Structure 1
Amino acid sequence: MVAREFTVRRTTEDDWREVRDLRLEMLRDTPMGYAETIDTALTHDEAQWRMRGGRGTAEHGIVVAAIDRSGRWVGTMGGFIPDADTGPYLVGVYVAPHCRGRDAGVTDALLDAIEDWARSEGETVTLHVHEDNRRARVAYERRGFVATGNALPYNLDPTRLELEMVKQLSS
């Protein structure tokens, strides 16, 4: 068995530079995948980035990062509870292109961490994925997420949709 080439851990306020750099990378790589533009992200100050880093240790929330052996951040996912009815909600999913795919294991390791957290908050985890992001939809389906048939307008282009997917969590 080959050892993982990365570690996964929660983010902290002190990670603000890495959080910022990875967020900018995410927005450049897959702009349709997020509810923010690169131009908006570039306007955030250090306090805003520290707040985002601090989400990793928030009550009823989590952000995790995958960090390779060289210290480079190669992936991230977050979760929060938007309301009691929705329960755990997956957001901010990104894996660097060179670390994508089942063999790399980054996506699965990050999602394992999110699902572990989500089990302490509810029985399901929900996400929304851009209708044109087939790569992400396939990855989520492989992990047991199913489309609910619900959709909502994508906030940056209301002519496009974000599709809702949900996964039933086992204890």
Structure 2
Amino acid sequence: MTVQVRRPVEPEWERWRDLRLRMLADTPEAYAETLETARTLDEAEWRFRVRRTWLPGSFTVVGVEEAGGSADRWVGTMGAYTDPVEGVFLVSVFVDPAHRGGGLADRLLTEVLAWARTAPGASGMKLHVHERNVRAQAFYRRRGFVENGLRVPYVLDPTEEELEMELVFA
């Protein structure tokens, strides 16, 4: 099946929620939220989360496996936001296990980087990745990100760390 990369919209909040819950179940250490917390959120919060991806300084894409209308399945996502001090950050990265290794992560990142390169004042992009998430670290390195030496405590367990990686725009 064909996977299209596009922006999510608010009426799709249930698909956004379902994808987020799958993300948290699959790779819990990759996010600053627990599955248990996410399950308690109401419709208004999920709608807000989709809307905020369209706010100035934010950008998100989803990978949608097209099967026809309600049978479509969201199989990946990547987003970015601009921190007024730190610059552009890559966030909420996920590709469904059945779609890993097939190029979807590259397609999603290409779209996010294209947006980031046009962000006012952006000289690059940063990200935080859990110290044990070696698969993600390898992907980022392949795409030109390098560790910048900064390590930050993992927000859900301060005894663990996240590495900061960055890609400087040429």
Provide the TM-score with structure 1 as the length reference: 0.93
Residue 99 of structure 1 and its aligned partner are, at CA, apart by 0.5
Does structure 2 retain, via aligned residues, the 8 Å contact 1:95–1:106?
Answer: yes
Amino acid aligned to 2:160: R
- Classify the secondary structure of the residue corresponding to 2:83: coil
Q: What are structure 2's unaligned runs of at least 5 residues?
A: none
Q: Paired residues, what number?
A: 164
> Which residue, out of 11, 23, 44, partners 1:26?
23
- CA-CA distance at 1:5 after TM superposition: 2.2
Task: Give 2:6's aligned residue.
Answer: 9
Number of the residue aligned with 1:91 = 91
Match of 2:113 in 1: 115
> What are the superposed Cα offsets for residues 24-74 of structure 1, whole Å, 9 maximum, x if unpaired?
000000000000000100111001100111133221101110001221100
Give the match's secondary structure for 1:54.
helix
Contact 1:100/1:107 (8 A) holds in 2: yes
Map 1:61-76 → 2, pairs under 5 A = 61-70=58-67, 71-76=72-77
Q: Is the contact between residue 115 and residue 169 of structure 1 (CA under 8 Å) also seen in structure 2?
A: no
- Partners of 1:143 and 1:55 lie apart in 2 by 26
**Counterpart amino acid of residue 18 in structure 2:** D
Could you state the TM-score of these two structures normalised by the residue count of structure 2?
A: 0.93
Give the aligned CA root-mean-square deviation in angstroms: 1.1
In the TM superposition, what whole-angstrom CA distance separates every residue of 1:66-93 from its partner, at most 9, and x where no partner exists?
A: 001221100001110122x321110000
Which runs of 4 or more aligned residues in structure 1 lie more than 3 Å from their structure 2 counterparts after TM superposition? none
- List runs of 5+ in structure 1 lacking aligned partners: none
Distance 2:6 2:83 in 1: 22
Q: C-alpha distance in 2, partners of 1:155/1:115?
A: 25
In 2: Cα distance, 1:12 partner to 1:54 partner: 7
Q: Which moved more, 1:74-83 or 1:54-63?
A: 54-63
